[in-house]
Homo-oligomer: A and B are copies of this chain.
Amino acid sequence: MTIPASVERQRDADRTKAEILEVAQREFARKGYAGARVDEIAALTRTTKRMIYYYFSGKEQLYIAVLEKAYSEVRSVERALDVEHLAPVQAIRTLAELTFDHHDAHRDFIKLVSIENIHQAEHIRKSDMLANLGGPVLGVISRILAAGRASGDFTVEADPIDIHMMISAFCFFRVANQHTFEALFGRDMAAPEHRARLRRMVGDMVVAYLTGTAPAGAAGPTAGSA
């Protein structure tokens, strides 16, 4: 091989590229796509703006590269696969808590997703490699739900995507809307004590929903079309 790994070369395409991506991710996450400045990103790296264009061709392509990197790092959700040996109730709770931790640990990613939604996900659509990202989690949830219904633990017929949405919504909101929530309610959802309580709460929530007896006062969770 012609690539001496640990020799710390002065010129190192991979390192430069990686450094640009890293800085760009922070900047885009903090300022949004339009708000981030190419010059600023360049200034925060050890290299120059020239290199950004050398490796990524332009601002938009850099942004897409950042999205792809962020998404690929986040693929580690698939480690959640090992919840399936647990009993259904414990499995879904653990999955919820893993999702919670996952969102907590990838705040830049959350912001990038928010930014993408503001732009109607136009960039995500320009990149392939992203479509099948949801698949694995849904498989896990499906199997947990099936097991739960079989064992009688889960009393409601729930759709896997809905359940995933319910869990994600809770975890995503806590991180994404942290600042306006604090401004309006004076509560910092990121503070350790709240964090711990909310982590339990998301598990309790899904479990209660899936195991709950039909709620009084209206049609039960197993809803027909109204």
Q: Indicate the size class of the contact surface on chain A.
A: 35 or more
Shortest CB-to-CB span from A105 to chain B, Å, is 18
Assess A116 versus B165: contact at CB under 8 Å? Given A208-B215, A218-B90.
no
Assess A185 versus B138: contact at CB under 8 Å? Given A90-B217, A120-B179, A180-B116.
yes
Contact A220 B196 (CB under 8 A): no
**Chain A interface secondary structure, helix, strand, loop or mixed?**
helix
A216 partner, pick from B89, B138, B165, beta carbons under 8 A: B89
Assess A185 versus B204: contact at CB under 8 Å? Given A118-B32, A120-B179.
no
Closest B residue by C-beta to A220: B204
* Chain B positions within 8 Å of A118 at CB level: 30-32, 111, 114-115, 118
Question: At the interface, yes or no: A5 with Cβ under 8 Å from chain B?
Answer: no
Q: How far is the CA of A93 from the CA of B225 in the complex (A)?
A: 18
Question: At the interface, yes or no: A75 with Cβ under 8 Å from chain B?
Answer: no
Contact B223 A217 (CB under 8 A): no
Question: At the interface, yes or no: A121 with Cβ under 8 Å from chain B?
Answer: yes
Q: How far is the CA of A153 from the CA of B215 in the complex (A)?
A: 10
Closest B residue by C-beta to A222: B204
